[in-house]
């Protein structure tokens, strides 16, 4: 009897340990699947401009490829937020991946049909911008808070790889047949993300608990993820202030990314109009991985000040160099342009961490998407107006080009300084989320 009792007890312990391993193990395969989702995000975000530049889109319809997908993206962000909170993190991820897949399939079937092009760009544009919401939300609810920031920064950096995948065939000047093969291969990215996501991603326990899908308390769901006693976040600001804060720093980050990556090269430094995006993509990928490895050593408030503060400082250095040297090209200019991508990537990383960390589980997806929709629309309008009103004439002299550059740069600097001021306010008045359990949000809103 004693042997039987001991045997039963040992089996019980083994069974208990097995359950704990299943509950507490970090879901690396699911994280990889979500990373593939971000890669698809990068592919889809660049899809419209690249197929236009590659002459797939008939020349009379160029505006469809250059604008329609981004306009649709704002609505896609809003849709993805509601899907994420209503259907769940996994199902919304699968729906968005399927939208990308469908959009690219329609394009490959009828690349010259205007109706098909419109449907394709709308679907892909909506899904591209919408993809980040389920990815960031799911990651924030399945990773222990100690490493949550590291994973959020590294995984969102897969978007840079997606951009590179799309631009490589266009930059190499492939023939039409080779382009078709290349874009057919791109069809495999969302397909792979869809299949892998279906099998690897499990619905997050906090969302399942808060919505009653599983019969455990939300506090127990978070404890199962944390694996140890972790201090919860302690929200001390209203939801509206958090939304405004995230929206403004998001607008500034988006303006910085678009203006530095695409606009300044095209408008003022035409020698490097194609080189700057390539250099920037590589620099951002390197900085993103490095930052992802080190982010746990800093508080979110420190990272916020470092990223937006360095953005303003490096922009001033770039502006000073152009005016002191009076040069629109040269190795020094290219190096400083590359340096600008350090804060551009850091500000993107800070956004990726803070967006899912500032809101409760029940409405996390919607609040992220409210902010993202406003960011895409407002930042797009700002960069559009800057490029229209401060574009130098094609016959402008070097001095005239620099004067146009100075005018636009002064406005951009003011925009950057707004984010610096807001970062200082958050540093003293906001609440810390780094290495904190997000349970604090749910306790407050139950």
Name the residue ranges covered by the structural domains of the chain.
26-226, 239-445
The pLDDT value recorded for residue 13 is: 46
Q: How far is CA 445 from CA 90, 239, 358, 367, 377, in A?
A: 23, 11, 13, 14, 30
**CA torsion, points 213, 216, 217, 218, in degrees to nearest 10?**
-50
φ, ψ dihedrals at 115, nearest 5°: -65, -45
The pLDDT value recorded for residue 358 is: 97
To which residue do tokens 């065939």 refer?
169
The pLDDT value recorded for residue 304 is: 97
Q: How far is CA 424 from CA 130, 304, 331, 376, 379, in A?
A: 30, 9, 35, 24, 22
Q: Is 239-445 in the same CATH topology as 26-226?
A: yes
The pLDDT value recorded for residue 258 is: 84
Mean pLDDT, the chain cut into blocks of 10 residues (446 residues total): 48 43 64 82 63 54 53 80 95 90 84 78 79 91 93 84 64 54 66 87 94 91 88 94 96 91 85 79 86 92 97 97 94 93 94 95 94 86 86 91 96 97 97 95 77
The pLDDT value recorded for residue 11 is: 46
Nearest Cα neighbor of 336 from 394, 265, 288, 401 is 265
Instruction: Mention every residue, 6+ apart, whose C-beta is less than 8 A from residue 441.
Output: 233, 235, 359, 360, 361
Q: How far apart are CA 104 and CA 100, in angstroms?
A: 6
Nearest Cα neighbor of 38 from 274, 360, 258, 292 is 292
CATH code for 239-445?
1.20.1250.20
DSSP H helical ranges for 211-274 = 218-226, 239-258, 264-267
CATH code for 26-226?
1.20.1250.20
């Amino acid at each position: 009897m004693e042997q039987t009792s001991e045997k039963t007890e040992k089996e019980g312990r083994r069974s208990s340990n097995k359950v704990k391993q299943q509950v507490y193990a970090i879901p690396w395969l699911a994280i990889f699947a979500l990373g593939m989702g971000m890669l698809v995000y990068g592919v889809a975000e660049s899809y419209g401009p690249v197929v236009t530049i590659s002459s797939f889109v008939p020349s009379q319809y160029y505006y469809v490829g250059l604008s329609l997908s981004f306009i649709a993206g704002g609505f896609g962000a809003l849709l993805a937020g509601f899907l994420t909170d209503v259907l769940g993190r996994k199902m919304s991820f699968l729906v968005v991946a399927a939208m990308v897949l469908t959009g690219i399939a329609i394009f490959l079937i009828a690349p010259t049909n205007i109706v098909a092009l419109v449907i394709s760009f709308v679907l892909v544009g909506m899904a591209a911008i919408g993809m980040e919401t389920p990815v960031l939300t799911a990651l924030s609810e399945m990773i222990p808070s100690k490493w949550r920031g590291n994973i959020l920064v590294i995984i969102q950096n897969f978007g840079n790889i997606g951009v590179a995948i799309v631009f490589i065939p266009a930059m190499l000047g492939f023939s039409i047949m080779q382009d078709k093969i290349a874009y057919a291969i791109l069809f495999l990215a969302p397909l792979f993300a869809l299949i892998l996501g279906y099998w690897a991603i499990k619905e997050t326990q906090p969302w399942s608990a808060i919505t009653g899908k599983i019969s455990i308390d939300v506090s127990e769901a978070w404890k199962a993820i944390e694996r140890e006693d972790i201090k919860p976040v302690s929200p001390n600001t209203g939801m509206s202030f958090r939304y405004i804060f995230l929206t403004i720093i998001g607008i500034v980050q988006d303006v910085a990314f678009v203006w530095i990556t695409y606009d300044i090269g095209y408008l003022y430094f035409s020698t490097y109009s194609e080189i700057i995006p390539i250099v920037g993509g590589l620099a951002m990928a390197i900085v993103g991985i490095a930052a992802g490895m080190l982010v746990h050593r800093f508080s979110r408030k420190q990272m916020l000040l470092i990223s937006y503060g360095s953005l303003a400082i490096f922009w001033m250095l770039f502006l000073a160099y152009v005016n002191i040297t009076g040069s629109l090209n040269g190795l020094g200019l290219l190096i400083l342009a590359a340096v600008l991508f350090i804060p551009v990537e850091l500000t993107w990383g800070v956004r990726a961490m803070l967006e899912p960390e500032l809101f409760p589980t029940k409405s996390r997806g919607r609040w992220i998407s409210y902010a993202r929709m406003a960011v895409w629309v407002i930042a797009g309008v700002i960069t559009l107006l800057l490029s229209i009103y401060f574009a130098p004439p094609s016959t402008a002299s070097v001095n005239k080009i620099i004067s146009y550059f100075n005018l636009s740069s002064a406005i951009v600097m003011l925009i950057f300084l707004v984010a610096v001021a807001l970062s200082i306010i958050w540093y003293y008045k906001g609440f810390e989320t780094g290495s904190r359990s997000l349970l604090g949000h749910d306790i407050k809103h139950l």
